[in-house]
Amino acid sequence: MSEVLYLIDHTCKKMYNFLTFKTFITPIVLIYFYYIGAVIMPFVIYYYKRKIFKKLGVIISLNWKIKLLLIAVFLFAELIWRMGFEALIGYFQIHNAILHSAH
C-alpha cells in the first residue's frame, strides 16, 4: 500500500513540476526532433538538389565531382543539424545544473 501512495505522490509532484514549468520536457523532445530531421534531411536534400544546382549555375550530371559535392553537402548539413541540437540541449542542461545548484 505504501508503494502505491509513494507512486501517486511522486507522479503528482512530477505533474506539478511540469505544469509550473519547473521541469522541462524540451531536452527529450529535442532528441526526437533531431533524429526525425536527421532521417528526413537526405530526402529533402535530394529533392531540392536540382533547384540548388540551378541557383548555383551547375549543370546536373552524374559525374564523380557532382556526387562528391552531394556527399559533402549532406555531411555538412548533418553536422550543422547536430551542432544546433547539441547547443540547444546544452543550454537546457546548463539551466538544470544552475537550478539544482541553487537549492
CA torsion through residues 35, 40, 45, 51, sign: negative
Q: What is the pLDDT of residue 48?
A: 81
Answer yes or no: is 50 within a domain.
yes
- Counting Cβ atoms within 10 Å, is residue 78 exposed (0-12), middle (13-18) or buried (19+)? middle
Q: Say what the pLDDT of residue 22 is.
A: 76
Assigned domain for 56 exists: yes
pTM to 2 decimals? Answer: 0.63
What pLDDT is attached to residue 100?
A: 78
Which pLDDT score is estimated for 83?
Answer: 95
The total number of structural domains in the chain stands at 1
Domain residue limits at 47: 25-101
Residue 16 lies in a domain: no
Please tell me the predicted confidence (pLDDT) of residue 77: 87
Q: Would you mind telling me the total number of residues written for the chain in this entry?
A: 103
Task: Please indicate, yes or no, if residue 17 is contained in any of the structural domains.
Answer: no
The per-residue pLDDT for 1 is 63
Q: Could you state, in chain order, the average pLDDT of each consecutive group of 10 residues for the chain (103 residues)?
A: 74 82 80 91 80 70 75 88 92 84 74
Domain for residue 9, yes or no? no
Residue 51 maps to a domain: yes
- Is 70 among the domain residues? yes
In a domain, 19, yes or no: no
